[in-house]
Structures are given as C-alpha cells and as structure tokens.
Amino acid sequence: MAKVTIDGLEMEVPDGTSILNAARMVGGDIVPPAMCYYSKLKGSGGKCRTCLVKVSQGSAKDPRPMPKLVPSCSTTVQDGMVVENITSLDVLEARKGVVEFLLINHPLDCPVCDQAGECDLQNLGYKHGLAKTRYEEERRTFEKADIGDNIKLHMNRCILCYRCTYVADQLTDCRSHGVINRGDHAEISTYISKAIDNDFSGNMIDVCPVGALTDKTFRFSSRVWFTKPMDAHRDCKKCSGKVVLWEKGNEVLRVTGRKDKYGELEEFICNECRFEKKNTSDWVIEGPRHIDKHSVISQNHYELLNNIKVDIVKYQKQVAERVNKG
C-alpha cells in the first residue's frame, strides 16, 4: 500500500496504482480529466496530456519534486507522493493549453454532431477552454472515408487518442485500421479503404471520446438529450447482453454499452446487440439509466417522469374495494 496525497486529500492505495486511478478511488473534483486513457484498454493513455498533474514530492524516500508535469494516467504512485491537480496553477494553465490545442483544429460542428451532449471534448472545453479562439488559420480537414455500414468515421473531429486502435487490437481478432501519416496529418484510416467489420468493432464508437466514430444506424435520428436511456438486457451468446437502449417513445433509436461516470464502458457489447436488435421486444427492460444530473441528457427528466407513472391497476383495485365495502 502506498500513501499518497492528492490536492491535500490523503489516501492509501495499492502499489502500482496510477495517480489517475488513485484520484478516481476518491472521486470528485480532484480527478484529472482523461481523453485518451481507458482503464479497460491496455497500453492506452499518456497521449492527450489533459491529465497532467504536478508531483510536488516524489516519494517519502526521495522527496524531490518531479521536474515536469506528469501524465497522471501513466505515472504510478509512490509511497509518500504529493500530487497537485486543481490546486496547482501550473497544471490548470497547462490543461488550458492542451484543451486549446485539441480544439484549434476541431471543426466545432457540435450542432450537427451526434456525439454532442455526451462528448468528452465538449465537457472539457466548457470547463477549461477559452470562449474565443486564438487560431486564425483554416482548420485542418481530411477527406471523407467510408469504413463500413455501421460505423461513421468523421476524421476532422478526431483527437487521436488511439483508443479505437486498442479496441481493435484487444477485442477483435483482426485490426484493420490504424494511424497513418504523422504530425497533424496523422489520421485513423483503413489502409487502403477497407471496411471495419467484425463482431466487436462497434465498441470503437463507445470508446471514442469525441464524435469521430459514431453509429450510422443512429445518425441524425435524434439529439441524445431528446431520448431516454433505459437499462436493458437480453440473452446474447457473444457478449453479456447488458446495454442501454436510447428510446424515443417506444422506438429504440440506438443501443450502446453501459458507461460509468468516467465515460468508460462497464462491459463491451457485440455488434449484434448494438446494431441489429432495435425493437423493444428484443430486450428485457430494467428501468431508466441514471445519468449524471449535470449532463444535458438528464435535462429532459426522463427519470422523474418514469417515477410518477400512475399505477392504474392499483387504483382500480382500491376503488373496487371501496365500492364493495360501501
């Protein structure tokens, strides 16, 4: 066990935990944002640099501070480490810089982006970004690429977190896409123009922190905050079958995996569940999915509406009893 202090909060965590995961164990404001790290994907993290923190004391043995800001997702805690996240101005300044870098070439097409409302970059931008851009040049664009029937790749929005390549490496039997070119022309691509098609490829959509990979079957059907998320499950031979249905009326518009409060999937689901089972009758509905109250999705109060549903049968029985007595 290692004793570590993050933003003045002391905690004890198992050895080998990363600073980010240590902070997540406590939760709240001290958790650094993460755009590329994904706890369920091995090797992810360290790329986006939004989770940079300051280590003001390396460890109890070697109390020297670390010379540079370190990525909290890939730096393991040491016993006696003191970490500053939101209490350090350097960190906030650097984070602001990183968010600006991520946004300068981002198309900012949120009004037409299916990810809007559940986009990590949007949240990050609202929290740390500037209201005005200092970037005057034309934004970078890529040629449109078709990567198959189910997944829409919109490369202009990509922040190159590499999560989708890890998904393909670690969940599917064959990775057919990757990063080609370098620098700010690096892009996710299937070389040359292949379709991504295998049973678990749909998880790329869920792990994508931005709207670069979206569900073609859901494309432009509704804004996410007009839909109501319902936990549901079914017997699936390939995966756990535990999903969230995004419904509008009685129509299932979209099926996704269940995400925790850090936007990570609890369990990966298969493409059959995701793309093919679009009828309520395919699913056993468990009840409304709780979405954080700060999310725009909660603003349509689907949970409350569900709670005040009147149980007519119960009332009828009560009335009948009263009549019988009377």
Partner 1 sequence: MARKILLEHLNVPGIETLEVFRKMGGYQAVEKVLKTMSPDDVTEEVKKSGLRGRGGAGFPAGMKWSFIDKKSEKPRYLVCNADESEPGTFKDRYLMEKIPHSLIEGMIVSSYALGAKTSYIYIRGEYFYVLRILEKAIAEAYEAGFLGKNILGTDYSLDLHVQIGAGAYICGEETALLESLEGKRGNPRMKPPFPAISGLYASPTVVNNVETIAAVPHIVNMTGDEYAKIGVGRSTGTKLISASGHINKPGVYEIEMGLPVEEFIYSDEYCGGIKNGKRLKALIAGGSSVPILPEHLITKTANGDARLMTYESLSDGGFVSGTMLGSGGFIVMDETTCIVRNTWTLARFYHHESCGQCSPCREGTGWMEKVLHRIENGHGKMSDVDLLVDIAKKIEGNTICPLGDAAAWPIASAIRHFREEFEYHVKYPEKVKDPKHFFYAPFVSEKMNASIA
Q: Per rule CB under 8 A, is residue 183 in the interface with partner 1?
A: yes
HSE (side-chain half, CA atoms, 13 Å) at 175: 16
Segment 112 to 171, residues that bind partner 1, using CB under 8 A: 134-135, 137, 140, 159-160, 162
Residue written as token pair 């896409």? 177
Q: Per rule CB under 8 A, is residue 305 in the interface with partner 1?
A: no
Comparing CA positions, the residue from 260, 248, 250, 306 lying closest to residue 282 is 250
Q: Which of 61, 132, 185, 322 binds partner 1 (CB under 8 A)?
A: 185
How is residue 265 annotated by DSSP?
B
Q: Per rule CB under 8 A, is residue 46 in the interface with partner 1?
A: yes
Q: Per rule CB under 8 A, is residue 182 in the interface with partner 1?
A: yes
Question: Site map for partner 1, 3-42, x if CB under 8 A?
Answer: ----------------------------------------
Segment 68 to 97, residues that bind partner 1, using CB under 8 A: 68-69, 71, 74, 93-94, 97
> Nearer Cβ to partner 1, position 98 or 167?
98
Which residues, 6+ apart, have CB-to-CB distance to 87 below 8 Å? 7, 8
Q: Tokens at residue 28, please? A: 């709240």
In the chain, beta strands by DSSP E = 2-6, 9-13, 52-57, 70-71, 81-84, 151-153, 178-180, 187-189, 213-215, 228-233, 242-248, 251-257, 284-288
**Distance, CA of 58 to CA of 284 (rounded, Å):** 51
The nearest distance, CB 23 to partner 1, in angstroms, is 19
The number of residues that bind partner 1 (CB under 8 A) is 35
Q: Per rule CB under 8 A, is residue 184 in the interface with partner 1?
A: yes
Q: Per rule CB under 8 A, is residue 211 in the interface with partner 1?
A: no
The nearest distance, CB 80 to partner 1, in angstroms, is 18
CB atoms within 10 A of CB 102: 23
The nearest distance, CB 183 to partner 1, in angstroms, is 4
**Distance, CA of 186 to CA of 181 (rounded, Å):** 4
Contact assessment for residue 53 and residue 108, using Cβ atoms and an 8 Å cutoff? no
Comparing CA positions, the residue from 36, 11, 19 lying closest to residue 74 is 19
**Distance, CA of 74 to CA of 182 (rounded, Å):** 23
Q: Tokens at residue 205, please? A: 């959509």
Which one of 67-75, 168-176, 267-275, 313-321 is the stretch in contact with partner 1 (CB under 8 A)? Answer: 67-75
In 19-141, beta strands by DSSP E = 52-57, 70-71, 81-84
> Nearer Cβ to partner 1, position 133 or 295?
133
Q: Per rule CB under 8 A, is residue 186 in the interface with partner 1?
A: yes
> Nearer Cβ to partner 1, position 10 or 184?
184
How is residue 259 annotated by DSSP?
B
Q: Which of 98, 147, 253, 297 binds partner 1 (CB under 8 A)?
A: 98
Point out which residues bind partner 1 (CB under 8 A).
Answer: 45-50, 52, 68-69, 71, 74, 93-94, 97-98, 100-102, 104-105, 134-135, 137, 140, 159-160, 162, 178-179, 181-186
